[in-house]
Amino acid sequence: MAVGGGEDKRMAYRENVCFTSGEDRVSAWLYRPPGKSAAPLLVMAHGLAGVRTMRLDSYAERFCAAGYACLVFDYRNFGDSEGRPRQVLDIGMQLADWAAAVAYAHTLDGVDHGRISLWGTSFSGGHVIATAARVPGISAVVAQCPFTDGIASARTLRPLVTARITALAVRDLVAAWMGRSPVMVPVVGRPDEVALMNAPDAYPGFMRLVPEGVTVPNEVAARLGITILAYRPGRLAAKVTCPILFCVCEADSVAPANPTLRYAAKAPRGEVKMYPEGHFAIYVDDAFERVVADQIAFLDKHVKPGGG
């Protein structure tokens, strides 16, 4: 499949590929830039309950036009990947999917296996920090509006909403123990609705990322409402030895900026770019153009041959 390139109208090519994580097939897109030389590669995945069709193709096309191969995957239990029960977000499983994706990238022809980097956004912005701290050989990391601290994000919700999510989470954990279907909670909702994200920009911002004619379930198994509290991947930033770019939204209503900035300051080779937008606005319009340009400049500096 041919996709449009950058201003020079070069053509990049995308193919459907898959790899195994655990016992399940993980579906992915592989973008290859023009040219015959081995290309550096970005491993990419979306945030909380997000799937690759929610504008990750727009990012990958831009990176590919700049000379980067991209492996863009859906987590197990989500999107086009296998895994059941559906919509169950297990943090350990998702981190295993990242490790499996990196391992698969190392088997690909036409890829510079010494220049494999990670790109994550929102919840996966935390995953790429954790993965780079644990998986050797990562060249660089881009963490866009990253989720870095479960407690900080939980504090963005009102206490009554938190209490109701906790009750659903307990019911879901009991259901899992008894072998029953998961108890679900909405991913995004309007203010005061029971949802994992209910800031004023959450529902319209999330839905704006869903392509017309595509259905993305707005729910996950409620157990995440408890397990997410212990997930603080920002603490691992100090162990990320490769260059890492934190793209931080000043008005982030989901992943507060201040904890991320504190963690970023501890990354040995950390860089920070600030944006005045909110958590969901960074994916579209002029904000998207600015953040992608900054990310490509960072990658060109640290990953391309002859860079820093």
Per residue in 271-281, pLDDT (tens digit) is 999 999 999 99
User: For the domain bounded by 2-149+233-302, which CATH number is listed?
Assistant: 3.40.50.1820
Alpha helix locations (H) across 114-248? 123-134, 150-154, 159-177, 202-208, 224-227
**Per-residue pLDDT tens digits for 139-159:** 999 999 999 999 999 999 999
> Residue 288, Cα to own-chain centre: how many angstroms?
15
Residue 257 has pLDDT above 70, yes or no: yes
Q: From CA 304, how far away is CA 308, in angstroms rounded?
A: 8
7 CB contacts (<8 Å, ≥6 apart)?
none
Supply the pLDDT for residue 307: 65
Arithmetic mean of pLDDT, 108-130: 98
- The band of 192, judged by pLDDT with boundaries at 50, 70 and 90, is confident
> What's the mean per-residue pLDDT of the chain?
94
Least confident of 1-5, 20-24, 129-133: 1-5
Sequence-separated (6 or more) residues with CB below 8 Å from residue 216: 49, 50, 51, 53, 54, 210
Q: Is the predicted pLDDT of residue 4 greater than 50, yes or no?
A: no
pLDDT over 70 percentage in the chain = 95
pLDDT given for residue 304 in this prediction: 86
Report the pLDDT averaged over residues 114-122.
98
Give per-residue pLDDT as tens, 219-232.
999 999 999 999 99
In this structure, the chain runs to a length of 308
Percent of the chain at pLDDT > 90 equals: 92
Residue entry with tokens 């990176």: 63
Mean per-residue pLDDT, 77-94:
98
Domains of the chain, by residue range, sit at 2-149+233-302
**Predicted pLDDT of residue 286:** 97
Question: With bands split at pLDDT 50, 70 and 90, how would you rate the model's confidence at 72?
Answer: very high
CB 45 within 8 A of CB 127: yes
Give residue 168's Cα distance to chain centre. 25
Residue 29 phi/psi, 5-degree rounding, is -105, 140
**Residues near 76 by Cβ (< 8 Å), separated by ≥ 6?**
21, 22, 24, 26, 82, 83, 93, 94, 97
Strands (E), the chain: 2-4, 11-21, 24-32, 39-45, 69-73, 111-121, 141-144, 184-185, 220-221, 244-249, 270-275
For Cα atoms 86, 70, 38, give the angle at the middle one, nearest 5 degrees. 145
Residue 6: which pLDDT band, with cuts at 50, 70 and 90? Answer: very low
| pLDDT for 82 beyond 60 | yes
| Average pLDDT rounded to a whole number, residues 297-307 | 89
CA atoms of 105 and 50, how far apart (whole Å): 22
Query: Which pLDDT value is given to residue 173?
Result: 97
pLDDT in tens, 25-43: 999 999 999 887 899 999 9
Lowest mean pLDDT among 12-16, 20-24, 228-232, 284-288: 12-16
| Phi, psi dihedral angles at 113 (to 5 degrees) | -70, -15
Q: What is the 8-class DSSP label of residue 6?
A: S
Distance, in Å, from the CA atom of 7 to the CA atom of 300, rounded to the nearest integer, reads 17
Q: Does residue 11 surpass a pLDDT of 70?
A: no
Query: pTM (2 decimals)?
Result: 0.94
